[in-house]
Amino acid sequence: MKTNVRTILAFAFVLSLLSMVGCDNTDSNGALSRANVNFKAYYEGNPLVMNQTYDYNGIDIQFSKVRFFVSEISLIQAGAETEIEDVEMIDITSSNTNETAAIAGFNMGSRTVPAGVYDGVKIGLGVTSDNNSLLPAEFSSTHPLGDESDYWPVWNSYIFSKLEGRYDADGDGMFEGSLVYHIGTDGLYQMKMFEDLSLRMDENQSLDFEFHIDIKDIFRENGSFINIETDGFTHTDPSNPEQMELSTLVATNWKSALSFNE
């Protein structure tokens, strides 16, 4: 009788283990899949081409630089996170040089992930405080954090995003107005979650991950858009309340402007 009880208990134990494995949608055998991560930039729904003229509420505008850091890109399954990238620079300036290239977007490359079914994606806009406490000189020139031009020593911070361009306010064909939004400092790091997804990552297969960002949405303000003639400039100077207010708006808009295309 004792033996039978032990056998039943052992059987139940094995069954419970199997059921636990069954609840976990990641492959426990170490099977791997790949995520091809891509960022596409738009302006009012059209692929954003650098130095091309767009309409900004009646003003011609051209963008010459769009680049931003992303951090902690993770896949989520039942609350558990699998990080696929610590930090990367998304340089739309270099990728969106013409219409064809803009449609293709910025290819961040492929990342290996455990096979399984994921229900969410997490992405940080900017640089985590841990990384932000470091200096470009501590990295190689090929590392995303190794470029001095992306660091502002006065803030002791990386510049999380750069949006630069010129606009023609008086319509004379000369783009004499300057647009410069440089956003940084720990407080403006933005984390975005995309939930209720169903991302099936099969073994030895790859899945395209597309993040979209519409640059026009970065300018939203109280149901309208930022007046770039009066608020076209911020370096996120912490001692300047007006700049901080604008930078905070741009940073939160940047988060809102980002979407995930399943």
Partner 1 sequence: MRKKYFAFLLIPFSLLACKEDPPEVQGDLIDIPYTPVDFVPEIPASFPMLEVPPDNPLTVEGVELGRRLFYDPILSADGSLSCSSCHKPEFGFSDPFPTSIGVDGVAGTRSSMSLLNVGFFYNGLAWDGIHPSLEAQASEPVVNPVELHENWDNVVEKLRLHPDYPERFRKAFGIEDSSEISEELATKAIAQFERTIISGGNSRYDKALRGEIFFTDAEANGYDMFFDISPDMPDAECGHCHTGPLLSVNDYFNNGLDEALDLNDFPDLGRGAVTGSIFDNGKFRAPTLRNIALTAPYMHDGRFQTLEEVIDHYDSGGHYADNLDPLIYNIGLTEDQKADLLAFLLTFTDTTYLQNEALLSPFE
The residues of the shown chain that bind partner 1, judged by CB under 8 A, are 50-51, 62, 64, 97, 136-137, 139-141, 146-149, 151-154, 164-166, 174-176, 178-180, 235, 237, 239-240, 243
Give me the least distance between CB of 135 and partner 1, in Å please: 8
Q: What are the backbone dihedrals phi and psi of residue 202, each rounded to the nearest 5 degrees, phi first?
A: -85, 150
Cα–Cα distance measured from residue 84 to residue 73, given in angstroms and rounded to the nearest whole number:
6
**48 touches 66 (CB < 8 A):** yes
Distances (CA, A) of 141 to 15, 107, 128, 145, 146: 53, 19, 20, 8, 5
The owner of tokens 């640059």 is 215
Give me the least distance between CB of 98 and partner 1, in Å please: 10
Count CB atoms within 10 A of the CB of residue 186: 16
With respect to partner 1, which residue has the nearer C-beta, 52 or 252? 52
With respect to partner 1, which residue has the nearer C-beta, 113 or 246? 246
Q: What is the residue type of 213?
A: I
Give me the least distance between CB of 164 and partner 1, in Å please: 5
Give me the least distance between CB of 155 and partner 1, in Å please: 10
Give me the least distance between CB of 122 and partner 1, in Å please: 31
With respect to partner 1, which residue has the nearer C-beta, 35 or 49? 49
Cβ-in-10-Å burial (0-12, 13-18, 19+) of 233 comes to middle
With respect to partner 1, which residue has the nearer C-beta, 212 or 235? 235
Helix (H, G, I), strand (E, B) or coil at 256: helix
With respect to partner 1, which residue has the nearer C-beta, 24 or 148? 148
Could you tell me which of 22, 50, 89, 37 has the C-alpha nearest to residue 199?
37
With respect to partner 1, which residue has the nearer C-beta, 97 or 256? 97
Give me the least distance between CB of 114 and partner 1, in Å please: 34
Supply 29's token pair. 């055998």
